[in-house]
């Protein structure tokens, strides 16, 4: 009898309450950076029935209309009157300037805080991402697009997915074990129609793309049988509560810091992007089949306190040599990261990352996904 190890990742839609908060936080960040690229932003959002509260520290030379940003984003996500939460909600702004004690360390090029950040890459997909996370995300990307296009008229914005893969004793993916999808819906649609539509029109096209073994797959579509009350009306939303969804679906570790609402001087965000950039180039250079990078920082200090490489036994080059090469090739100071990854140049919208994940995106040209350091790494290791 074959023995399998099971791994699961989940994803949530832009209409999930926590993701609503993430997107509003990053929409405020985008507005600040658009007119003042040097803005310092640490903005968090709480949303519930009929109310959005925006708080945090912002130091910027521009004016931002918080209320307009909140209402526009809620409308873009797809919440309409009658859903218990829509753009005609109350807004409360509790924003003040950044602490001068923090600014003192950042102004000289140091990190905005202490902390540990992780990034990873693995040869499971073309974009070097864990497959379970990619499948979970693609299911919801497809479902959200079909909802917005009116192709699934009964669907509402709050949606979740979860994919479990079975790995054989050699560590390779053997089959898809189960898929969970929960989608908010209107009152009129039957559970049978929801189940049929989600499996046939949403899930199956995604699975077919990857040519996976789905012979004995188990489906759990709206397992409770009803999901009418959803979004911030059904559950409160808060910035930063979906950090595993934002990254690797639990496949690699996470330092604990959230991304959304933080300007690039916060290494919670910028160094996590950089760690992905490093790990992806290491795997693409074929130094290993799987790689996780840990970076650590001290507030006000420019260089990382430590760099750790873990290839989980897949290394084709000694890990110490990989670590030395990384130190030579990558400038991992906060300002070095900001410049290399174009984090203040407005070439992408942070709110778009908050909607469908910050790592492994193929629909947005994010600099931390570029394979532009392979040859330099090889040269540094004398390959």
SS3 of 176-233 = EEEEEEEEEECCCCCHHHHHHHHHHHHHHHHHHHHCCCCCCCEEEECCCCCCCCCHHH
The least confident of 107-111, 167-171, 304-308 is 107-111
Q: What is the CA radius of gyration of the chain?
A: 21
Report pLDDT digits (tens) over 46-71: 999 999 999 999 999 999 999 999 99
Q: Provide, rounded to the nearest whole percent, the portion of the chain with pLDDT above 70.
A: 97
The yes-or-no verdict on residue 107 having pLDDT over 70 is: no
pLDDT for position 105 = 57
- Would you place residue 97 in the very low, low, confident or very high pLDDT band (cuts 50, 70, 90)? confident
The answer, yes or no, to whether residue 310 has pLDDT greater than 90, is yes
Percent of residues, the chain, with pLDDT higher than 90: 91
Specify the pLDDT at position 54. Answer: 98
Query: Would you say 30 and 354 are in contact if contact means Cβ atoms under 8 Å apart?
Result: no
Average pLDDT, the chain: 95
Q: In 10 A of CB 228, how many CB atoms?
A: 13
pLDDT value at residue 300: 86
What pTM value is reported for the model?
Answer: 0.96
Sheet holding 218-221, edge to edge: 5-12, 155-167, 173-185, 218-221
């Amino acid at each position: 009898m074959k023995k399998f190890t099971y791994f699961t990742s989940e994803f949530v839609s832009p209409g999930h309450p926590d993701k609503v908060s993430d997107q509003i936080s990053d929409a405020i960040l985008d507005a600040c950076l658009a007119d003042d690229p040097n803005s310092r932003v640490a903005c968090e959002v709480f949303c519930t029935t009929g109310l959005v509260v925006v708080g945090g520290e912002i130091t910027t030379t521009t004016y931002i209309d918080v209320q307009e940003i909140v209402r526009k984003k809620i409308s873009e996500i797809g919440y309409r009157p009658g859903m218990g939460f829509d753009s005609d909600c109350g807004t409360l702004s509790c924003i003040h300037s950044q602490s001068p004690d923090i600014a003192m360390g950042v102004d000289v090029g140091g990190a905005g805080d202490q902390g540990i950040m992780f990034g990873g890459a693995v040869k499971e997909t073309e974009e070097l991402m864990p497959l379970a996370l990619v499948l979970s995300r693609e299911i919801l990307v497809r479902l959200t697009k079909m909802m917005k296009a009116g192709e699934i008229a009964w669907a509402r914005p709050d949606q979740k997915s979860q994919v479990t893969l079975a790995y054989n004793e050699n560590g390779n993916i053997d089959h898809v074990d189960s898929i969970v999808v929960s989608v908010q819906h209107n009152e009129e649609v039957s559970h049978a129609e929801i189940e049929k539509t989600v499996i046939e029109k949403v899930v199956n096209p995604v699975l077919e793309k990857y040519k996976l073994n789905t012979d004995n797959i188990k489906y759990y579509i709206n397992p409770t049988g009803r999901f009418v009350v959803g979004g911030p009306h059904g559950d409160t939303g808060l910035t930063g509560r979906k950090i595993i969804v934002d990254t690797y679906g639990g496949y690699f570790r996470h330092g604990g810091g959230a991304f959304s609402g933080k300007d690039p001087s916060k290494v919670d965000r910028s160094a996590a992007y950089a760690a992905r950039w490093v790990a992806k180039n290491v795997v693409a250079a074929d130094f290993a089949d799987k790689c996780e990078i840990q970076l650590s920082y001290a507030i006000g200090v420019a260089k990382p306190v430590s760099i750790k490489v873990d290839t989980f036994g897949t290394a084709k080059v000694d890990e110490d040599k990989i670590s030395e090469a990384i130190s030579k090739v990558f400038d991992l100071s906060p300002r070095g990261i900001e410049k290399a990854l174009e984090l203040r140049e407005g070439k992408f919208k942070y709110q778009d990352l908050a909607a469908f994940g910050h790592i492994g995106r193929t629909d947005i040209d994010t600099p931390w996904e570029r394979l532009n350091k392979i040859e330099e790494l090889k040269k540094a290791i004398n390959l």
